[in-house]
Amino acid sequence: MSAGVVDAGLIGELTGIVGAAHVLHDPEITAGYAVDWTRRFAGATPLVIRPGDTAQTAAVMGALAGAHIAVVPQGGNTGLVGGSVPLAGEAVLSMRRLNDCEPTDELASQVTLGAGVTLGEAQAHAAASGLSVGVDLAARDSATIGGMVATNAGGINVLRYGAMRAQVAGIEAVLADGTVVSHLAGLEKDNTGYDLGSLLAGSEGTLGIITRVRLRLHPTQPERATALLAFATAADAVSAAAALRRSVASLHALEAVFGSAMTLVSRHLGVVPPVGSMDHGTGGGAWLIAEAAARSDPSDELGAAVAALDDLVVDAAVALDPAARQRLWAFRENVTEAISAAGIPHKLDVTLPAARLAEFVDGVPEVVRAADPAAQPLLFGHLGDGNVHVNVLGPGGAEPAGEVDEAVLRYVAELGGSISAEHGIGTAKLSQLHLNRTEAELAAFSAIKRALDPAGLLNPNVLLPPNA
Ligand code: FAD
Ligand code: 2HG
Ligand code: ZN
């Protein structure tokens, strides 16, 4: 049920819980919470509530449940699938004020963080104890730990540490009726029933509001070597990626930018990549960024592995100092910004089995053009874990036709891939979830949803198709 016109009694009750400064209903202010990072998904909300801790979150949920008001939980609002904004008039529960970092537990290499702590703040906090967070991504200064668990975020180090679910050693959350469930001891061996942290990871705000997370941390790997490798074909890049995975024990990231995306990002930055040719115009060519990280200098290990690729690689540049490494990373980290500056893309974040990856990269531009001849596909992603980000811009940066999403995601499913690697389903891919999930699985999902949120108040338009 949407919030519609909110009753003055409810506003008074919410104000009593979080304070007047944190119950927002001025449309000029709430509008900022109703549009997503991509600008593709925009709605409206009559009410934004900003609790400051778990007890306030629980009391707010109790009040909203009593009034049958649906809620969209929101962290940094960097999600890319339209799951973090109120598209059907829901209230918004902004979690950013839950930004407490508890002292790092150095004996356990774990830390308990408020859901609203940003990834950048978590990284700085862990680094003070010589530890690091296992997941890293370019939206680090805005994305929150709660949002990252809710989406099971992936990013650039999944090949070494796994995605966000693998980092969760404990969780605290508020259920739809205001009940608090808390399991934060962080015991590495703990088989005392269902793992609610795993269940909430990737639940996209549909099963509970995450308020605190106990994160596993990892030893820092301060010595780094980064290579930018240019290839003539996607198939060569895929073969090289497999070889690097097999031979570089300290491999920390293995990212790809394909032809047309490299053209765009390099124009955006005003710099051409130091290796490879930009002659291919809208297609062809592929670049890999391979980063090794260790306690002692990994450059010999990476250098030897790159040298062994000489029948595949066209050219290579290796950087060791932070500034030079950052100049190579810029060609990958700025692709999303470059696309956003060019228009409002459809974002199709997919994984392919390793054996079908090159075929997909070569085949998908034709699939896109068959669905919308004027659409422009841009491909990049986390090649080390088979994750390709297919972004599609319409003519002149406008939105491409809706058929494009369906065609690309069907192609992914035909090749045995996943239609969502790391961004989630949100509202963007609701109608394609059946491509990857059977009716029996969707029925099980619905049963879990009904058990934890019987009134359907938590992000009711996200993840699960309404008829599932
Ligand atoms: P939001 O966008 O606010 O919310 C995302 C979802 O989680 C929504 O469904 C929301 O309802 C739910 N949610 C948020 N907080 C809570 C909570 N406390 N409890 C319950 N549900 C909650 N993603 C990747 O996986 N890998 C990448 O490499 C990556 N790179 C990115 C780069 C850029 C430039 C941008 C803009 C985005 C990128 N993303 C990436 C996407 C995004 O950063 C992640 O999905 C991130 O996890 C979202 O975190 P957030 O705090 O912004 O969540
Ligand atoms: C990345 O890997 C993010 O850079 C964003 O997941 C991907 O913009 C995208 O489609
Ligand atoms: Zn990504």
pLDDT digits (tens, 9 = 90+) for 423-465: 999 999 999 999 999 999 999 999 999 999 999 999 999 999 7
Give the pLDDT confidence of 250-296 residue by residue, as tens digits: 999 999 999 999 999 999 999 999 999 876 544 469 999 999 999 99
Where are the domains positioned within the chain? 8-94, 110-219, 223-337, 343-433
Asked if 178 and 58 count as a contact pair (C-beta separation under 8 A), the reply is: yes
Give the pLDDT confidence of 369-417 residue by residue, as tens digits: 999 999 999 999 999 999 999 999 998 888 888 899 999 999 999 999 9
Q: What percent of the chain has pLDDT over 90?
A: 94
Computed from CA positions of residues 142, 457, 51, 209, in that sequence, does the dihedral angle turn out positive or negative? negative
- H-only helix segments in 290-431: 299-307, 322-333, 335-342, 357-371, 403-414
pLDDT of 5 above 80: no
- The preferred substitution site among 37, 78, 149, 429 for testing ligand 1, maximizing ligand atoms within 8 Å of CB, is 78
CB-based contacts of 278: which residues, under 8 Å, 6+ apart?
262, 263, 266, 272, 285
Q: In a 3-state reduction of DSSP, which class is residue 403?
A: helix
- Taking residue 124's Cβ as centre, other Cβ atoms within 10 Å add up to 12
Residue 148 alpha carbon to ligand 1 centre in Å: 5
Average pLDDT over every residue of 29-58: 97
Residue 286 has a pLDDT of 96
Q: Which atom of ligand 2 is nearest to the CA of 387?
A: 2
Asked if 87 and 45 count as a contact pair (C-beta separation under 8 A), the reply is: no
CATH topology agreement for domains 223-337 and 343-433 = yes
Give the pLDDT confidence of 113-137 residue by residue, as tens digits: 999 999 999 999 999 999 999 999 9
Residue 380 alpha carbon to ligand 3 centre in Å: 9
Look up residue 337 and give its two tokens: 């910004």
C-alpha to C-alpha distance for 83 and 421, rounded to whole angstroms? 15
- The preferred substitution site among 38, 40, 48, 74 for testing ligand 1, maximizing ligand atoms within 8 Å of CB, is 74
What's the CA angle centered on 285, arms 281 and 290, to 5 degrees?
Answer: 135
Q: Which residues line ligand 1 (CB under 6 A)?
A: 37, 72-80, 83-84, 95, 115, 137-139, 142-144, 146-148, 150-151, 153-155, 204-205, 209-210, 336, 422-423, 459, 462
pLDDT band at 1 (very low <50, low <70, confident <90, very high): low
C-alpha to C-alpha distance for 93 and 199, rounded to whole angstroms? 20
pLDDT of 345 above 90: yes
Ligand at shortest distance from the CA of 257: 2
Asked if 114 and 94 count as a contact pair (C-beta separation under 8 A), the reply is: no
- The preferred substitution site among 41, 335, 350 for testing ligand 2, maximizing ligand atoms within 8 Å of CB, is 335
pLDDT band at 3 (very low <50, low <70, confident <90, very high): low
C-alpha to C-alpha distance for 379 and 298, rounded to whole angstroms? 29
C-alpha to C-alpha distance for 115 and 147, rounded to whole angstroms? 7
Q: Does 223-337 carry CATH code 3.40.50.920? A: no
Ligand at shortest distance from the CA of 135: 1
Mean pLDDT of all residues in the chain? Answer: 95
Query: Which CATH number applies to 8-94?
Result: 3.30.43.10
Give the pLDDT confidence of 187-222 residue by residue, as tens digits: 999 999 999 999 999 999 999 999 999 999 999 999
Q: In a 3-state reduction of DSSP, which class is residue 261?
A: helix
C-alpha to C-alpha distance for 152 and 159, rounded to whole angstroms? 15
Query: Which CATH number applies to 110-219?
Result: 3.30.465.10
Q: Phi-psi category of 233—alpha, beta or left, where left has phi over 0 and alpha has psi -120 to 50?
A: beta
Top CATH class of 343-433 equals: alpha beta
C-alpha to C-alpha distance for 11 and 63, rounded to whole angstroms? 10
Q: What percent of the chain has pLDDT over 70?
A: 97
Residue 282 has a pLDDT of 43
